[in-house]
């Protein structure tokens, strides 16, 4: 790190190089050294960024709990995911609708749910569902 600081103080603009009495070759060498130092700094920054991303993803994944349901489970579905056209009547109405029964399981976490009266609700993502405990 000290070598980098020394190089930075030595690297001069063309006007300053002429003023200091440096030849074009010496100035060109200093510029090449500066470029090499910049490549090293970029590599260090990239490594630091990758370590930071790994730490952030590890912290995020600690809080993620994968949830999977089996056929026949009783579940509640988020009301907004099912009915998006009408607004709720008051702020005290439940955000969850149900209970529903899981009819089919699709790939990528999608589920086909059915109401107790036999009405099938289209495929819904599993993140909008939670277990129902009577």
The predicted-structure confidence for 60-87, as pLDDT tens digits, reads as follows 988 877 778 899 899 999 887 565 545 5
Mean pLDDT over residues 116-134, rounded? 87
pLDDT of residue 21: 72
Q: Report yes or no: 96 and 78 within 8 Å, Cβ to Cβ.
A: yes
Taking 80 as the threshold, does the pLDDT of residue 107 lie above it?
yes
Count of alpha carbons within 13 angstroms of residue 13, beta-carbon side = 2
Mean pLDDT over residues 36-44, rounded? 89
Q: Report yes or no: 114 and 101 within 8 Å, Cβ to Cβ.
A: yes
Residue 13 — very low, low, confident or very high, per pLDDT cuts 50/70/90?
A: low
Residue 89 — very low, low, confident or very high, per pLDDT cuts 50/70/90?
A: low
Separation between Cα atoms, residue 40 and residue 33, nearest integer Å: 11
* Helical (H) or strand (E) element with 131: strand 129-131
Q: Give start and end residues of each alpha helix (H) in the chain.
A: 2-10, 14-20, 24-63, 79-82
Token pair 């999608």 in the structure block, residue? 110
Token pair 């899981």 in the structure block, residue? 102
């Amino acid at each position: 790190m000290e070598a980098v600081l020394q190089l930075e103080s030595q690297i001069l603009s063309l006007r300053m190089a002429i003023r200091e009495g440096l030849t074009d070759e010496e100035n060109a060498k200093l510029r090449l050294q500066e470029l090499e130092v910049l490549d090293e700094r970029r590599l260090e920054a990239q490594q630091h960024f990758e370590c930071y991303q790994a730490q952030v993803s590890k912290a995020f994944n600690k809080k993620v709990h994968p949830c999977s349901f089996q056929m026949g489970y009783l579940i509640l579905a988020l009301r907004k995911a099912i009915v998006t056209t009408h607004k709720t009547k008051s702020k005290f109405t439940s955000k969850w609708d149900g209970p529903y029964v899981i009819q089919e399981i699709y790939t990528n976490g999608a589920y086909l749910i059915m109401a107790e009266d036999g009405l099938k609700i289209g495929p819904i993502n599993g993140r909008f569902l939670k277990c129902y405990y009577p």
